[in-house]
Amino acid sequence: MHKEDHSHKALNEVLYGEFEKLAAAREEMDQRLIDYVDDLSENDADEQIDFTLLSGAKGSMNRRMILMHMFNHNTYHRGFVVETFCQVPAALPLIDLPIFMRGAGGMRNMPPHLVAAE
């Protein structure tokens, strides 16, 4: 979205070997996205951006659609995580947005569908 090439070579790159470093990088990226959107003008949001996928395929979308794709794709992966947890007898992670945004202290009584199967 900054009209710069990225350095990624594959979808399965491991950028951070330790969870703490991943969590810190994610927090930093979240703040960068918030700041970016806060400063984005209507004209800039509608500007077409050319890009190249990892496969080499070329594409073009406006920044508004790129942002929508980023957040929509994130929900796809969150759903995949939940589906994976449903296949094993484990408690589902707290990723439902109203629960997640309240934090761990926001849930006194877990809904039945979030309690680990026995």
Query: Is residue 3 a part of any domain in this protein?
Result: no
Structural domain containing residue 29: 15-44
Q: What pLDDT is stored for residue 79 in this prediction?
A: 77
Q: Give the count of domains, the chain.
A: 1
pLDDT in tens, 38-70: 999 999 999 999 988 888 889 999 999 999 888
Q: What is the pTM of this model?
A: 0.64
Q: What pLDDT is stored for residue 44 in this prediction?
A: 95
Query: Is residue 31 a part of any domain in this protein?
Result: yes
Contact between residue 110 and residue 89 where contact means Cβ atoms under 8 Å apart = no
Query: Is residue 37 a part of any domain in this protein?
Result: yes
Query: Is residue 24 a part of any domain in this protein?
Result: yes
Residues 6 or more apart in contact with residue 57 via CB below 8 angstroms: none
Residues 6 or more apart in contact with residue 117 via CB below 8 angstroms: 89, 90
pLDDT in tens, 62-107: 999 999 888 887 777 777 777 777 788 777 666 666 666 666 555 5
Residues 6 or more apart in contact with residue 66 via CB below 8 angstroms: 1, 49
DSSP string over the chain? --S-------TT----SSHHHHHHHHHHHHHHHHHHHHH--HHHHH-EEEEE-TTS-EEEEEHHHHHHHHHHHHHHHHHHHHHHHHTTTSPPPS-SHHHHHH-GGG-SS--GGGSPP-
